[in-house]
Amino acid sequence: MASLPLRFLLSAPNLDALGPSRAEVAVVGRSNVGKSSLINALGGSDKLALVSKTPGRTRLLNQFAVGELGTLVDCPGYGYAKASQTLRHSWQKMVEQYLLTRPQLVCILALVDGEIGPTKLDVQLLDWLRAEDRPFAVVATKHDKVKSSQREKRKRALAEGCEVAPSEVVWVSAHKGVGVDRLRGLILERLAA
């Protein structure tokens, strides 16, 4: 499958500053989960998500066009150890409001580190998405970091920790390209629905 036609549009400090969209997919995950690497892999360019790492933009919603089909929003990574409680709280509120009320949102890709499994914060986020009845999909990252002999077991444990069926977890490697086409397909399907 071809790369997704991703093009950076803007960085928004809040929901109201986002650009128009037909349909939108959001990407969320704790910092270091592999979010930027994955967005670059989806778009087939190692520069796409650079913007999401630019100081001053790490707390913003970074919106990309997916061709003419819709948009993709890279949400600020949660769980920055260095952030003060107050700051963490203000981003959290902004991201929560976005995830809860953006009318165009058709799917939230919740990233979980495939090497270490879901953290307490990941589980909290998933519980909250479920309680709020928001559409989400669990994406495990760093497939290549787990030995092939351990992968089946790891996938089952990860799915159990996230309270989803193993078949529902899309496990990707941004570095090796594993699962990236499957995720591209899922994004295109949700945007086109």
User: Where do contacts with ligand GDP occur on this chain (CB under 6 A)?
Assistant: 29, 31-37, 77, 141-142, 144-145, 173-175
Token pair for residue 65? Answer: 């066009």
Contact criterion met (CB below 8 Å) for 165 and 138: no
Nearer to ligand GDP, 26 or 69 (CB): 26
Nearer to ligand GDP, 142 or 154 (CB): 142
Nearer to ligand GDP, 69 or 94 (CB): 94
User: Cβ of residue 188: shortest distance to ligand GDP, in angstroms?
Assistant: 21
List the beta bridge partners of residue 25: 72, 107
Nearer to ligand GDP, 41 or 106 (CB): 41
How far apart (Å, rounded) are the C-alpha atoms in residues 103 and 78? Answer: 22
Question: Does residue 95 come out as left (phi exceeding 0), alpha (psi in the -120 to 50 range) or beta?
Answer: alpha
Cβ partners under 8 Å of residue 8, min gap 6: 48, 51, 62, 63, 64
List the beta bridge partners of residue 72: 25, 64
User: Cβ of residue 49: shortest distance to ligand GDP, in angstroms?
Assistant: 7
User: Cβ of residue 171: shortest distance to ligand GDP, in angstroms?
Assistant: 10
